[in-house]
Amino acid sequence: MLPVDGFVLKGIITDNTKTKMGKDFYDRYYYKYNELGINAEKIVTIGEEYSFARNTAISIIIDNEVIYEFLAQPNDEFLEAVAEESVNATFTYLKGKEKERKYFTQY
């Protein structure tokens, strides 16, 4: 179904990170997201909040719902692995929402 105004924005990922480590994670997540070709109509937000001591918590949020969250570590292998996991969690979440939409009738 086409929207009334004629276009739909898809595949938007916003960056609300605060540190270099957060930006590095965002870059990895963004590339993996595009590799899979997800291109969802929902906006994905990568957020970062200061946590205990000198740690930061990074979260992936869709529709004001946190779908994945972790404490960041300044380790390239860790960021790579967690980016892979979070993209998979995003994909699973979006597929679940797609299935829900098929089962519910909107009035």
Residue 37: C-alpha distances to residues 32, 33, 34, 81 (Å): 9, 6, 5, 19
pLDDT at residue 69, rounded to an integer = 96
The answer to whether 73 and 15 are in contact (CB under 8 A) is no
Query: Which sequence spans correspond to the domains of the chain?
Result: 13-95
E-only strand ranges, 19-86: 44-50, 56-62, 65-71
Above 90 in pLDDT, residue 53? no
The answer to whether 48 and 29 are in contact (CB under 8 A) is no
The two three-digit tokens of residue 13, written as one number: 């990922």
Above 70 in pLDDT, residue 104? no
pLDDT at residue 31, rounded to an integer = 94
Cα–Cα distance measured from residue 21 to residue 72, given in angstroms and rounded to the nearest whole number: 7
Mean pLDDT across the chain = 88
CATH hierarchy code of domain 13-95? 3.30.160
Averaged over 68-89, what is the pLDDT? 94
pLDDT at residue 105, rounded to an integer = 62
pTM equals: 0.85
